[in-house]
Structure 1
Amino acid sequence: MGIKVVPRYGKSFKDKLYLPAIFGGMKTTFSHFTKNFKDVEQLKTMQYPEVQPTDLNERYRGVHRLTKWEDETEKCVACYMCATACPADCIFIEAEERFDEHDEKRPKEFKIDLLECVFCGYCVEACPCDAIRMDTGIFSFTASSREEFVLDKKALMANDRSKDLSDD
């Protein structure tokens, strides 16, 4: 097998200075600037967060929530299907025994790390009892520390959009 020699471009002094490439980029930038400066009304800039996006459809995946039964207890049975399906490995569940009429076990701890989550929706698809959803409509979240991005069971159950949507 022979060695393939690839010719190197840009051997001239003019190409080594990169000035033509820099001026070409500046020309493009300046043309966009003048076009936008002349017609400010056509700019597609949104004054976020004062103006919220309106083009989100019903399939948008927002922050997670845990659904509840009518007696305000969680529907999750701690089967670990969501944690197993998660490609980012950002769901942490610790199970405990349950002593009510719903199921045999429930999550003692249920945490989702939003900084590791890729919002793929696999956890929602994997859940056999429709206990986790991503339909809160919360698409922007901020915090001052990393720990605030880890949502626990209490925070996930508080993300409920409304009582009538939880039983879809």
Structure 2
Amino acid sequence: MFKRVTTEQYPEDKRPTQPRYHGRHQLNRHPDGLEKCVGCELCAWACPADAIYVEGASNTAEERFSPGERYGRVYQINYLRCIFCGLCIEACPTRALTMTNEYELADDNRADLIYEKKDLLAPLLPGMAAPPHAMVPGTTETDYYLGKVTGAVAAQAAESEARRLGTWAGPSDEEVSA
């Protein structure tokens, strides 16, 4: 009450946010680069502002984006509607959706405030292979969720690079039957 009022020099002098601050959403990846989102749409159901749209699709042997049967083919968050309450984070069963400390989301174009999946996905870190690619050989979907997968193996990296170059011929007969 009797403290001197101070003026913050934002945006020149940005102060760090609190560790639990709810900012922009992020779709996380497994250590090998596969997406954690399984397209269950629970985040969209939990959102009181109806700001999230998810459209799930099935993984195939030729194109696998997540270790589960499904993945989020279309994922959108409308930041014109989002109230940053975090209920979508609590509803996510795979911890695919988290919130970052990024808060500078202002824009002069309304269409740019509807973030697509490509805008929300966490960047690929060293040791990750860009999806789609097969799961780590000899693992199951459960191994991914228990944290037993620690990174991409050479076969995944080779498949990812071949897809990028357009030289991938498809999964082998062993991979399809597995």
Corresponding letter in the other structure for 2:70? K
- State the match for 1:80 in structure 2: 41
Partners in 1 of 2:118 and 2:27 — Cα distance?
9
More helix by share: 1
Structure 1 unmatched runs, 5+: 1-41
Partners in 2 of 1:76 and 1:109 — Cα distance?
11
- Are residue 112 (structure 1) and residue 43 (structure 2) matched? no
- State the match for 1:140 in structure 2: 104
Q: What secondary structure sits across from 2:112 in the alignment?
A: helix
Partners in 2 of 1:53 and 1:140 — Cα distance?
13
**Once the 2 structures are TM-superposed, how far is the Cα of residue 72 of structure 1 from its aligned partner?**
2.0
- Are residue 48 (structure 1) and residue 10 (structure 2) matched? yes
Larger radius of gyration: 1
Corresponding letter in the other structure for 1:94? E
Match of 1:155 among 119, 128, 136: 119
- Are residue 66 (structure 1) and residue 27 (structure 2) matched? yes
Q: What secondary structure sits across from 2:121 in the alignment?
A: helix
Corresponding letter in the other structure for 2:9? Q
1:10-29 correspondence runs (5 A):
none
TM-score by length of 1: 0.65
- Are residue 103 (structure 1) and residue 29 (structure 2) matched? no
The alignment yields a C-alpha RMSD, in angstroms, of 2.1
**Once the 2 structures are TM-superposed, how far is the Cα of residue 124 of structure 1 from its aligned partner?**
0.3
Tell me the matched-pair count.
Answer: 120
